[in-house]
Amino acid sequence: MTGRPTRLGAALTALTTIAAGLAVGPAPAYAAGDHGYAAQIRRASYGVPHITARDFGGLGFGVGWAQAEDNICVIAEKVVTVSAERSRWFGATGPTDPNVRSDLFFRKAIDDRTAERLLEGRRDGVHSPSDDVREQIRGFVAGYNAQLRRAPVTDPKCAGKPWLRPLTELDIWRTAWASMVRASSRALLDGIVAATPPTAAGPAAAQDAPGAAAVVAARDGAPAGVGSNAYGLGGQATVHGGGMVLANPHFPWEGAERFYRMHLKVPGRYDVEGAALIGDPIVEIGHNRTLAWSHTVSTARRFAWHRLTLVPGDPTSYLYDGRPEKMTSRTVTVQVPGPGGVPVPVSRTFHDTRFGPVVVVPGTFDWTTTSAYAITDVNAGNNRAFDGWLRMGQARTVRELTEVLDRHQFLPWVNVIAADAKGEALYADHSVVPRVTDELAAACIPAPFKPLYATSGQAVLDGSRSACALGADPDAAVPGILGPAHLPVRYRHDYVTNSNDSYWLANPAAPLEGYPRIVGDEGTPRSLRTRLGLDQVQQRLAGTDDLPGRGFTTKRLWQTVFGNRVYAGELVRDDLVAACTAHPTATSSAGVSIDLTAACAVLKGWDLHVDLDSRGAHLFTEFVMAGGVRFADGLDVTNPVHTPRRLAVGDPRVLTALADAVRRLDGVPLDARLGDVQTEPRGERRIPIHGGRSEAGVFNMIINPLTPGDGYRRTVHGSSFVMAVALGPGGPSGRQILTYSQSSNPNSPWYADQTLLYSGKGWDSIKYTEAQIQADPNLRTHRVWW
């Protein structure tokens, strides 16, 4: 089933010319205006822009123009956040409100001139951003501002709002920095804001830091709220013998982390189709003519803890090699709406050390009169990312891509999975990781914190000795991070995969082992989603799945992604049905006796999928989320893809979970079609949504919280940009979609079209070559300049 976009007629393929904020008139291709910017924008089906310019400044101008036309409110709100003005414009309930904490954090970054300092140094893309990237950012800002001047904003979220304003270049560099520290300082934001020294009378009153506490409790370093699947298929796994890539990032469906599809070209220098986070000027997941890649969120940690030994009587001084060092302090102030809307100042004093900021996590990392804890955030100085993605798009093979990774070491918190037209596939976690080698961990992690390191990869180093500093690897791009020799990489001609577990089983035939624990774990059970992802590839290559033939085409890859198998159901459903048949009554966790007869019958008839027609899929999902999947067996390291697999039917918590699921679904028919109870609003429509929870072992992950008594009525997270691309002598081909559609503006023609397409498992085709672009029935071309 293809997308079949509406044919708008030959008139839409006619060339139109728009002068940004000036008069409309003819202009030669890429002719720059008075300010030096020009781009050609060809809108294809579903509003996807194909942007061409003669230089990177013009390319950025076109991207800024197009993104502002489709998602201006998303970009504007991101800028409000990094400008420390969320409380001012969106309100706050008090000094501990999340908006206030965010504002304090970003106000300190502004006062510290964090973004400005990222632009200092040699412009080689490693020490500071290159001229190409700076021009692209400058052009993006000009394009956004030109679009803002040109036409009234129609998105009701920000139309006429005082927080919608022209951008500056620093705004974009600040949003870029905020993305870099997503899994480190920003994840620990409330712990940084809450850090207050003890007084002579004792410890300061503890402030909650739930975000930081969640980071400490997490089993790995993946930032909350994001995930992904990706396949890199080599020539041995594909029917045509060239490489293929599946990109399937799982990201929020609303807000600042939405993706945006685009095709960007500077003739002779850059030609990449794919997607980027809204507000970023460069393709981050995509393909060129001979190389394709995707990213998945890595398990590696992005910061290291340092336990400080404080100077007696002075809790803001610490000992380093026996000598006292004074913390630096900075007091910042933000304005918070008070009674009657009158601004009220809220101030906080932050404390920094030679390592980085002091962080408090009550009950785990407290600031007492004898000790405190600081972090080194190795992404806080990461100014290399845009250059890295730019050069990645210029690479021709996976080997050249690895050279880019090794030179720039820019990936903030993601793996890369790639393949090339020659049929070679790549997995690499060459992300930015603190330089905590096994030797450093053994010598410098105090005994009480060794279990934390073993279980979660969080390193708490002795901050009183210079011998325990992070140091520098000779092959690292910058000091303090692991060099490429300490990071996992695997080349294959069959396949590599990742679904947010560690590097260990990128390909089970050749496990990656022996890397520092801070990067990830080895020899431990994989998630059900990881296991399904591997099982799907193995079955396709063996020809034992439900599809004809062996090996992958883009059609078969698309069918695999949206096959909507529920791996947990395949493993435990029959045993669960046997258990609830034998025990038709169970007590819920609230102590209520629940009749399981109807639920048991529904599960027996369920098709083990999360398709629109699947009946009872939501019941199994609630059973999983209530903690019902408990295995009786453990991991068999000789068969890690398929173990553990036996339901612990004797564990009373299994049927308790089923009873809890029945209670939660009160008012929602247990045997309802998934498409009737799991939907996404678009205007007056409720679009049926297929897919399900990762915890149930669903590859096509969708998170749509339950509205009691009604169903699942708004998707908050899950499959977003999906790309299945094949690489060969004729250029790239395949399928792609942006599940939540190109625009967040309800008045845009591109607000719901791809969401309807996703509902029917449809797709838009890869449009990279000129022939592919020209074949689009809805192609519309215009030129913009300033």
Query: How far is it, in rounded angstroms, from Cα 682 to Cα 753?
Result: 10
The pLDDT score that the predictor gives to residue 29 is: 56
The pLDDT score that the predictor gives to residue 200 is: 62
Answer whether residue 505 shows pLDDT above 90.
Answer: yes
pTM score, whole prediction: 0.95
User: For the segment 91-140, what is each residue's pLDDT rounded down to a tens digit?
Assistant: 998 889 999 999 999 999 999 999 999 999 999 999 999 999 999 999 99
Query: How far is it, in rounded angstroms, from Cα 263 to Cα 246?
Result: 18
Mean pLDDT (the chain) is 94
Query: How far is it, in rounded angstroms, from Cα 453 to Cα 440?
Result: 12
The pLDDT score that the predictor gives to residue 118 is: 97
Query: How far is it, in rounded angstroms, from Cα 430 to Cα 444?
Result: 24
Query: How far is it, in rounded angstroms, from Cα 221 to Cα 521?
Result: 11
CB within 8 Å of 83: residues ≥ 6 apart: 106, 110, 171, 174
In the chain, pLDDT over 70 holds for what percent of residues? 95
The pLDDT score that the predictor gives to residue 207 is: 67
User: For the segment 200-209, what is each residue's pLDDT rounded down to a tens digit?
Assistant: 655 665 567 8
Rg (CA), the chain: 26
Q: In this structure, what token pair is assigned to residue 300?
A: 């590696």
Give Cα 573 to chain centroid, integer Å: 31
Return phi, psi of residue 308, to 5°.
-95, 135
CB within 8 Å of 223: residues ≥ 6 apart: 182, 183, 187, 297, 413
E strand or H helix at 782: strand 780-785
Q: Which of 31-35, 416-420, 721-725 has the lowest mean pLDDT?
A: 31-35
Return phi, psi of residue 538, to 5°.
-60, -40
User: For the segment 657-700, what is each residue's pLDDT rounded down to a tens digit?
Assistant: 999 999 999 999 999 999 999 999 999 999 999 999 999 999 99
Query: How far is it, in rounded angstroms, from Cα 77 to Cα 97?
Result: 18
The pLDDT score that the predictor gives to residue 217 is: 83
The pLDDT score that the predictor gives to residue 202 is: 59
Q: Is 499 a catalytic residue?
A: no
The pLDDT score that the predictor gives to residue 211 is: 82
> Which DSSP symbol is given to 673?
B
CB within 8 Å of 364: residues ≥ 6 apart: 213, 216
Answer whether residue 3 shows pLDDT above 80.
Answer: no
The pLDDT confidence band at residue 199, using thresholds 50, 70 and 90, is confident
E strand or H helix at 25: none
Q: In this structure, what token pair is assigned to residue 1?
A: 């089933």
By the 10 Å C-beta count (0-12 exposed, 13-18 middle, 19+ buried), 9 is classed as exposed
Query: How far is it, in rounded angstroms, from Cα 508 to Cα 517?
Result: 19
Q: In this structure, what token pair is assigned to residue 191?
A: 């712990």
The pLDDT confidence band at residue 19, using thresholds 50, 70 and 90, is very low
* Strand-strand pairing, 38-43 and 780-785: antiparallel
Answer whether the bond into residue 249 is a cis peptide, omega within 30°: no
Q: Which of 12-26, 107-121, 314-328 has the lowest mean pLDDT?
A: 12-26
Angle at 568 between CA 563 and CA 572, to 5 degrees: 125
Neighbours of 384 (CB within 10 A): 28
Judged by DSSP in three states, 330 sits in strand
CB-CB contact of 373 with 310 (8 Å): no
The pLDDT score that the predictor gives to residue 214 is: 86
The pLDDT score that the predictor gives to residue 14 is: 37
The pLDDT score that the predictor gives to residue 340 is: 83
Query: How far is it, in rounded angstroms, from Cα 231 to Cα 243?
Result: 10
E strand or H helix at 313: none
Q: What is the mean pLDDT of residues 387-411?
A: 98
Answer whether residue 16 shows pLDDT above 80.
Answer: no
User: For the segment 442-451, what is each residue's pLDDT rounded down to a tens digit?
Assistant: 999 999 999 9
End-to-end CA distance of the chain: 42
CB-CB contact of 445 with 420 (8 Å): no
Region label for 268, one of left (φ > 0), alpha (ψ between -120 and 50) or beta (otherwise): left
Answer whether residue 10 shows pLDDT above 50.
Answer: no
In the chain, pLDDT over 90 holds for what percent of residues? 90
The catalytic position among 83, 185, 228, 614 is: 228
> Which DSSP symbol is given to 624?
H
Which of 717, 735, 704, 760 is closest to 261 using CA atoms? 735
The pLDDT score that the predictor gives to residue 46 is: 98
Q: How far is CA 518 from CA 221, 503, 638, 741, in A?
A: 9, 12, 24, 37
User: For the segment 326-375, what is each residue's pLDDT rounded down to a tens digit?
Assistant: 999 999 999 999 888 889 999 999 999 999 999 999 999 999 999 999 99
User: For the segment 608-662, what is each residue's pLDDT rounded down to a tens digit?
Assistant: 999 999 999 999 999 999 999 999 999 999 999 999 999 999 999 999 999 999 9
Q: What is the mean pLDDT of residues 481-499?
A: 98
